[in-house]
Amino acid sequence: MNAPALILPEAAALMAAPQAIAPVGKGRLPASWFDNDPWLLTCGVAIIAFGLVTMTSASVTIADRIYGDPLHFFWRQAVALVIGTALGLWALRTPLAAMAHASGMFLLLTVVVLGLVLVPGLGREVNGSLRWIGIGPASIQASEIAKPCIVIYLAAYLVRHGEQVRTQFIGFIKPIGLLTGIAGLLLIEPDYGAAVVLFATCLGMLFMAGVPITRFVSWGLVAVAALAALAMLAPYRLARLMTFVDPWADPYDSGFQLTQALIAFGRGEWFGVGLGASIQKLFYLPEVQTDFVFAIIGEELGLAGTVTVIALFTFFVWRAFAIGGEALRSGRPFQAHVANGVGLLIGLQAFINMGVNMGVLPTKGLTLPFISYGSNSLMVSCFALGLLLRVAHEARQPTRARVLAASLSVARTDAGRSGS
């Protein structure tokens, strides 16, 4: 028997159509939405739908008072969802190899947008922070753009210099130095919450890439100490920390937001006062549609609603890490690092926001991904979901090496049997 002719039918089909061999292909959308990761997609859609309903409920009163339209924030969030869906589809059809090759451009984009915020005439100040780039009637939040860009860049860096990062001090300190510079730009705005989330996400990516635990812990402690020092050097940050420790010490000034949020959770009890029946959203709780929407969920839907949100985000993060593990086992380290980074990014921001609402973390201006009102946040979250679905799609595609290895193994086995 002629051994070279013993090629698996799958291998023969792939060799006849080279464009189908590489998992990145030509970036075509999958034949079905559900050949990626149906669980992740279902979870993402559920969080978005839940967010649209609860955010609208939380914002109707303030929208009617300010804009004369109870659904003002809903319509703006719906437009952001359409744009975010387009970004997610672009991420889903774009080969991740192309993103890896363009990782330097993602880093450059991060530096540019964070720098433009500081340019007079372009940067817009909101609530004492210079975080927005004004483009006509629209505004772009620089930190939201920076988050996925840095994740993509660091994932590519870990592929190129993974061995050095794991074994040499210089390989570890290089990305740390870069992250320190990015965090510095965020602190100038200032955006302390985004700096913490981004730095913690990248440290987590380094740890999951195999950085020794001793080096990770030692430099993690240095980073925590530096961030704590920065917080204490700024009077308003120190005041927030002191308020977080005992919000009832000054419930009508510095502790007002947190005490009102805790009142909302207390009113919700087990199953809430009912959707739309919140009292705290009637101008008692500031930033109710953005930073503190989770408290209104607790008031209107009770413990059942808050546990549902926590469970959805926990499942989302678990699926992200599971997809990352699947990508790594299939020989795609860049895809694995991207999935881990997105899981850390969404998970950290979500649980920090919920922790702030419940009074277990200091108050920070962070939105709840997919749920809080915020066009930039929702669009970036949809883009991140598209990235995860793309990783899942590529992780499930056979590569030329895997198919040919399987074919040669079968060929050798059959040749041995025919020779015997």
253 vs 209 pLDDT, higher one: 209
Kindly indicate the confidence band of residue 2, based on its pLDDT and cuts at 50, 70 and 90. very low
For position 150, what pLDDT does the model report? 95
Q: Is the pLDDT of residue 26 over 80?
A: no
Q: How many angstroms separate the CA atoms of 3 and 6, rounded? A: 5
Enter the DSSP assignment of 140: E
Q: Which of 98-107, 246-255, 303-312 is the least confident region?
A: 246-255
- Exposure of 84 in the CB half-sphere (CA atoms within 13 A): 25
Q: How many angstroms separate the CA atoms of 320 and 346, rounded? A: 10
When the pLDDT of each residue in the chain is averaged and rounded to a whole number, the result is: 82
Mean pLDDT over residues 16-24, rounded? 37
Q: Is the pLDDT of residue 347 over 90?
A: yes
Q: Is the pLDDT of residue 227 over 80?
A: no
Give pLDDT tens digits for 79-120: 999 999 999 999 999 999 999 999 999 999 999 989 888 887
138 vs 164 pLDDT, higher one: 164
Domain ranges of the chain: 36-397
Q: Closest by alpha carbon to 218, among 184, 183, 176, 253?
A: 176
Q: Which of 225-234, 339-348, 352-361 is the least confident region?
A: 225-234
For position 121, what pLDDT does the model report? 74
Q: Closest by alpha carbon to 100, among 393, 319, 329, 391?
A: 391
Give the gyration radius of the chain's Cα atoms.
24
For position 234, what pLDDT does the model report? 64
Kindly indicate the confidence band of residue 343, based on its pLDDT and cuts at 50, 70 and 90. very high
Instruction: Fill in the amino acid letter for 88.
Output: G
Kindly indicate the confidence band of residue 418, based on its pLDDT and cuts at 50, 70 and 90. low
Contact 92, 393 (CB under 8 A): yes
* H helical segments located in 189-270: 192-208, 213-233, 235-245, 256-268
Mean pLDDT over residues 283-296, rounded? 90
Mean pLDDT over residues 335-346, rounded? 96
For position 241, what pLDDT does the model report? 65
For position 14, what pLDDT does the model report? 34
Kindly indicate the confidence band of residue 249, based on its pLDDT and cuts at 50, 70 and 90. confident
Q: How many angstroms separate the CA atoms of 415 and 93, rounded? A: 41
Q: Closest by alpha carbon to 168, among 207, 137, 212?
A: 212
Strand 138-141 relative to strand 123-126: parallel, antiparallel, unpaired?
Answer: unpaired
Q: Is the pLDDT of residue 250 over 80?
A: no
Mean pLDDT over residues 58-71, rounded? 93
Give the other-Cβ count within 10 Å of 405's Cβ.
12
Q: Closest by alpha carbon to 374, among 355, 351, 349?
A: 349
For position 404, what pLDDT does the model report? 46
Q: How many angstroms separate the CA atoms of 302 and 155, rounded? A: 39
Q: Is the pLDDT of residue 223 over 80?
A: no
The dihedral sign for the CA sequence 166, 170, 173, 175: negative
For position 359, what pLDDT does the model report? 86
251 vs 375 pLDDT, higher one: 375
For position 185, what pLDDT does the model report? 87
Q: Is the pLDDT of residue 15 over 50?
A: no
Q: Is the pLDDT of residue 254 over 90?
A: no
Mean pLDDT over residues 241-257, rounded? 75
Q: How many angstroms separate the CA atoms of 100 and 98, rounded? A: 5
Give pLDDT tens digits for 145-201: 999 999 999 999 999 988 888 888 888 888 888 888 898 888 888 788 888 899 889
Instruction: Fill in the amino acid letter for 310.
Output: I
For position 350, what pLDDT does the model report? 96
Q: Is the pLDDT of residue 409 over 60?
A: no
53 vs 138 pLDDT, higher one: 53
Q: How many angstroms separate the CA atoms of 305 and 300, rounded? A: 8
Q: Is the pLDDT of residue 222 over 50?
A: yes
- List the beta strands (DSSP E) in 103-195: 123-126, 129-135, 138-141
Kindly indicate the confidence band of residue 27, based on its pLDDT and cuts at 50, 70 and 90. very low
For position 271, what pLDDT does the model report? 93
Q: Closest by alpha carbon to 373, among 287, 296, 300?
A: 287
